[in-house]
Each structure stands twice: as C-alpha cells, then as structure tokens.
C-alpha cells in the first residue's frame, strides 16, 4: 500500500510563534512564501553595501515623511511574509507598534538581487503585486540596473521600467526625491 505524503503549510502566526519559542533564531534569515519556510542565502558584501546605501540615501531624502525598514518581515497575507531588503512605509506616530504594518502602509519596496534575480522577479514580485504594493525596485547587481515595477494589477505590474548607470530615478510617492542609479548600486565593480 502506498502512503500519500502531505505537505504542511505554515502561516505567518506559526512562524511568529516559532520565533517567540526560540525555534527560529534572530540570526536565521527566512521568508514565508506560499506557506513554506524558505531559508535565504547569506548576503554578500556588495549586497550589504547596497542595502546600507539605500538606507542612508532614503533616510536623508525622506526624513520623517516615511519610515525606512531594513530587512524586516513584511506581512502580505496569512501565507506570505517575505523579508525585503528595504521597505519604505507611510509614517505613523506609533511606528507601527503594537500593530504591524499592512501592505496598504507600503510606499515602495526595494530588493537587492545579486544571486536572487529570478526568485525576486518570478516568485516575490507577483506576491507584491497581488498585495497591491504600489512600487517595487529590484537592484540587478549582475547587470548594474534598477528594474522598476509600478501600477499593480492582479499578480503583475502594468508598468515596467529599466534604469541604468548615469540615469536617475524617483519613487512615485516622492517625485521630488531623485536618486542616481550609481549611488544606489555603488561604483562600477572591477572584477
């Protein structure tokens, strides 16, 4: 007799309870995608530098008109809790405590992709669109580009833009704040 195997899906509450119980340590980099706990690969030096650059530039540009969250979980729905590199939220006096932010609180998301471009585009991007995240930037470090997705509809974005070195970009939520691509992705790498 053949036994059917069953796959157990986890919820965001399950993951939070596991973390509170110490089953998931704070040093563990995980995401919940479609109910599955996915271990994230370690961040390389350039990846870390790009996240730090975005943090500094966004904090300087937005001040208290936004809240910049670095590599923290984003609760999209009961089965999806990715951990984007940067999330820029609408400001709130209580800093979203004790209530956690929802997708409606997100102004835009930034993913830094050195080895994860396919996963960020094919798996995470549709989740962001389905959750109505208005804008997503993917820093494609292999090609020195910033891919910008706007206008979510269903599980896709209607507008897709590509920005290269020498060009500048402004988030829809902050049209007067302009960022040079080279500032965000760093100087041209010498291999």
Nearest to 184 by CA among 148, 150, 160, 134: 148
pLDDT higher than 60, residue 191: no
pLDDT higher than 90, residue 49: yes
pLDDT of residue 84: 96
pLDDT higher than 80, residue 1: no
pLDDT of residue 144: 94
Written out in words, the top-level CATH class of the domain with range 43-185 is alpha beta
By mean pLDDT, which of 21-25, 54-58, 123-127 is the weakest? 21-25
d(CA 122, CA 26): 27
3-class SS of residue 174: coil
DSSP secondary structure of 43-104: PPHHHHHHHHHHHHHHHHHHGGGSEEEES-----BTTBB---SEEEEPP-TTTT-SSPP-GG
d(CA 17, CA 23): 9
Distant-in-sequence, close-in-space partners of 53: CB < 8 Å, separation ≥ 6: 183, 184, 185, 186
User: In this structure, are residues 133 and 95 in contact, taking their beta carbons and an 8 Å threshold?
Assistant: no
d(CA 107, CA 88): 6
3-class SS of residue 112: strand
3-class SS of residue 171: coil
**Residues 158-175: pLDDT tens digits?**
999 999 999 999 999 999
Q: What percent of the chain has pLDDT over 70?
A: 95
**Residues 83-126: pLDDT tens digits?**
999 999 999 999 988 888 999 999 999 999 998 899 999 999 99
For residue 142, the 8-state DSSP code is T
Mean pLDDT of the chain: 92
Per-domain boundaries in the chain: 43-185
Sign (positive/negative) of CA torsion 5, 10, 15, 16?
negative
Reported confidence tier of residue 3, pLDDT bands at 50, 70, 90:
low
């Amino acid at each position: 007799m053949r036994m059917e195997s069953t796959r157990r899906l986890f919820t965001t509450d399950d993951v939070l309870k596991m973390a509170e119980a110490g089953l998931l340590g704070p040093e563990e980099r995980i995401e919940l995608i479609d109910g599955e706990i996915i271990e994230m690969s370690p961040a390389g030096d350039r990846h870390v530098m790009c996240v730090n650059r975005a943090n500094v530039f966004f904090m300087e540009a937005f001040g208290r008109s936004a809240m910049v969250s670095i590599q923290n979980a984003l609760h999209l729905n009961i089965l999806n809790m990715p951990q984007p590199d940067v999330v820029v939220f609408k400001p709130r006096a209580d800093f979203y405590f004790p209530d956690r932010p929802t997708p409606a609180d997100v102004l835009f998301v930034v993913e830094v992709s050195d080895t994860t471009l396919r996963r960020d585009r094919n798996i995470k991007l549709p989740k962001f669109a389905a959750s109505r995240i208005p804008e997503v930037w993917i820093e494609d470090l292999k090609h020195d580009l910033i891919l910008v997705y706007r206008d979510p509809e269903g599980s896709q974005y209607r507008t897709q833009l590509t920005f290269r070195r020498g060009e500048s970009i402004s988030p829809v939520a902050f049209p007067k704040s302009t960022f040079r691509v080279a500032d965000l992705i760093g100087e041209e790498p010498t291999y």
